[in-house]
Copies of this chain bind each other. A is one copy, B any other.
Amino acid sequence: MNRQILVVEDEAPIREMITFVLEQNGFNAIEAEDFDQAKEKVVEPYPDLILLDWMLPGGSGVKLAKMLKQNEYTRSIPIIMLTARADEEDKVRGFDVGVDDYVTKPFSPKELIARIKAVIRRVAPTALEEAIEFHGMKLDPVAHRVSINDSNIDLGPTEFRLLHFFMTHPERVYSREQLLDNVWGTNVYVEDRTVDVHIRRLRKAITGAGHEDFIQTVRGSGYRFSGKIKASV
């Protein structure tokens, strides 16, 4: 299972060098040399990681990063930003956008590979495009459809994203704030309690379809999505 890595870099020699190094190391490189090309390449099946040059003609890398990180489907693709040494400031701005790491040019091949591996290891990817099944409940991100035992249930966009997030992150408690960050997106000003309401709507849709409620309330902490738990008596 080779990792697909999209290399967005306008300087051809550097781009080719990177591609070479990647393929030497068992990665699968896709190339793009500007904003528009990159946009075209970020489609299904999505790359597993993006190496993104900070300075791109016709639109900065940051702009692209921001765009990707705001899109529901591309948000979880890790991005490593390639920066020129000079401008420290840009690095920081890169972080604000949600970039996962950056590498300063010039960099050694070893360093690049080390960083890529580190990021991939860290981000723990779940392939976005694949249907997820969990205890008879199936969520198909492509068809944007949820079914329980082959009968469809319909959800609003937000409920869908919420369920999607939960299904890709089961067995783990998330606070309301974390859910807002992950499902609604960062820097969105919404009340904590709004999460409760959406949880309720989601629960209603699921249990209404005759399915067991897989969302557990963890008092004082948040909510958790998981399968049956043996209750203690």
Contacts and interface: CB of A to CB of B under 8 A. Distances in A.
Interface stretch (A55-63, A147-155, A190-198): A147-155
Interface string A189-233: 000000000000000010011000000001111001010011111
Contacts of A110: 88-89, 92
A130 interface: no
Interface in A111-163: 111, 114-115, 117-118, 122-123, 142-145, 148, 150-154, 156-157
30 contacts: A88-B110, A89-B108, A89-B110, A92-B108, A92-B114, A95-B114, A95-B117, A95-B118, A122-B123, A142-B171, A142-B172, A143-B171, A143-B173, A143-B224, A144-B221, A144-B224, A145-B224, A145-B229, A148-B232, A150-B230, A151-B230, A151-B232, A152-B230, A152-B231, A153-B232, A154-B232, A156-B219, A156-B220, A205-B232, A209-B232
Q: Across the A-B interface, give the 9 residue pairs with the lowest CB-CB distance, nearest first.
A: A157-B220, A144-B173, A153-B232, A88-B108, A151-B230, A95-B114, A92-B114, A92-B110, A152-B229
